[in-house]
Amino acid sequence: MIRTENLRKIYQMGNVEVRALDGVDIHIEKGEFVGIMGPSGSGKSTLLHMLGLLDIPTSGRIFIDGTETGRLTDYQKTMFRLYKLGYVFQDYALVPELTVMENVALPAMLRADRTESQYRADTVEILGKIGLCDRRGHLQGELSGGQQQRVAIARAIVNKPDILFADEPCANLDTENSRMVLNLFHEINEQMQQTIVMVSHEDWHKEYFHRIIRLRDGKIVDGGG
């Protein structure tokens, strides 16, 4: 499903060369729920952004479902993200002027293969799965942090992506809401065979992961696959 070869990301900070990723080789199978863990500055989010085609590696190759993503044009990458990938971020990234229903439906509306009746039906179905059908007419400001993150997850999976990427999705949540989000990820993974790659710094989150990829100083120290 996901494979990298000698992945590197180097930033130039004045005269200093920062190796955010330094020769990373990983392999993630379809249906796995994988955690990316490591100390602050180890390259966790950088790796996730590379895998999710949100940033470009300095060198190395990324293969997703057999496609070498570095060979795609910018337009092809945009379409690849829209049709195959979903994203959940720690700051929710909802559109405050839109209702819950509209926020969740947004990615599905952009797809040429979905009619209005289809994406509305898909949106209602996903809202039912996360228990927020009764809040579908509400705005972001009328929701708790936990509810906002559940809406963000619903938006990420409304297109039924092959892979769901989550960058510290529980960072702004208390333990109760964090567990609610992780239980939802577990259900999605089990019921939909959803491949999930999640960055986390909380040790107790590892009970949810099938496998952990550990990074330190931009290198894999354990679990690359």
Q: Is the pLDDT of residue 209 over 80?
A: yes
Q: What backbone torsions phi and psi does residue 124 show, to the nearest 5 degrees?
A: -65, -40
CA distance 147 to 153: 10
How much is the pLDDT for 8?
97
Single out the residue of 217, 178, 225 nearest to residue 200, CA to CA.
Answer: 178
Q: Identify the structural domains of the chain with CATH numbers, from first to last.
A: 2-93+161-222 (3.40.50.300)
**Amino acid letter for position 91:** D
Q: Which two tokens stand for residue 1?
A: 């499903």
Question: CA–CA separation, 6 vs 4, rounded Å?
Answer: 7
pLDDT > 70? residue 225: no
This prediction's pTM = 0.93
The pLDDT value recorded for residue 13 is 85
CA distances from 158 to 84, 125, 127, 173, 192 (A): 11, 9, 9, 23, 12
Question: In this predicted structure, what is the pLDDT of residue 212?
Answer: 96
Q: Is the pLDDT of residue 29 over 90?
A: yes
Residue 64 has pLDDT above 90, yes or no: yes
The two structure tokens encoding residue 122: 């898909």
pLDDT at 221: 94
Report residue 195 CA to chain centroid gap: 10
pLDDT tens profile 88-145: 998 889 999 999 999 999 999 998 888 999 999 999 998 998 889 999 999 999 999 9
Write the secondary structure of 152-178 as one string of H (helix), E (strand) and C (coil): HHHHHHCCCCCEEEEECCCCCCCHHHH
* Candidate from 135-144, 154-163, 216-225 with smallest mean pLDDT: 216-225
Q: What are phi and psi of 69, to 5 degrees?
A: -70, -25
Kindly state the percentage of the chain with pLDDT values over 70: 100
Q: What is the mean pLDDT of residues 166-184?
A: 92
Mean pLDDT for the chain? 93
